[in-house]
Amino acid sequence: MATLYEIDARIMNCIDPETGEIIDPEQLEALQMERERKIESVALWIKNLKADLSALEAERKAFQDRERSCKGKIESLSEWLTNALNGEKFETPKVKVSFRNSEAVEIVDERLIPKDYMRIKTEEAPDKTALKELLKTNIQVPGCRLVKNKNIQIK
């Protein structure tokens, strides 16, 4: 099957470049039909890929929900087991439960911590919404411009 570029080139060969007269009307019609089939096929492919993407996103969300649920159950059951054993070891041929000591910093009131022990996180990014509104009112902003796009929609 020919590429769209090749089909377009063959269509141009059916037309006299100087007069614009159609040289071979039957071949021109056949090429236009082939071009339409090619475009339709690509559009349908995009439509199928979008459906696949939606299904994959739904599946990912379902897995994330299951993961959250599983983590919650682990946390809840671990807390229950910790309370039931009260720090004592437990062992059977199938399982062994023990406890180890660890240390962690618990922040009681962040406002009371000296500035020397605070990390500063800064993130700078352009405010595209505000910039778009300025550019729409014909105010020039250095470093950016308003671009008009054509977004394809396939249903």
Domain extent listing, the chain = 4-126
**Rounded-to-integer distance, Cα 127 and Cα 125, Å:** 6
Query: Taking the model in full, what pTM does it have?
Result: 0.59
Between CA 50 and CA 19, with CA 34 as vertex, the angle to 5 degrees is: 125
- Whole-number pLDDT of residue 155: 57
The predicted structure's pLDDT at residue 84: 92
Instruction: Please spell the DSSP secondary structure of 88-107, one letter per residue.
Output: --EE-SS-EE----------
Pairing between strand 90-91 and 96-97? antiparallel
pLDDT at 72: 96
User: What residue ranges of the chain have pLDDT lower than 50?
Assistant: none
- Picking from 96, 74, 73, the residue whose alpha carbon sits closest to that of residue 85 is 96
Residue 144 neighbours by CB under 8 Å, 6+ apart:
126, 131, 135
Q: Tell me, what's the pLDDT at 34?
A: 92
Per residue in 28-61, pLDDT tens? 899 999 999 999 999 999 999 999 999 999 999 9
DSSP 116: G
**CB-based contacts of 46: which residues, under 8 Å, 6+ apart?**
152, 154
Tally of CA atoms within 13 A in the half-sphere of 69 that contains its CB: 6
Could you give the CA distance from residue 29 to residue 14 in angstroms, rounded to a whole number?
10
- What local confidence, expressed as pLDDT, does residue 104 receive? 86
Query: Which residues, in sequence order, are CB contacts of 134 under 8 Å at separation 6+?
Result: 141
Q: Take residue 14 and report the two structure tokens written for it.
A: 């059916």
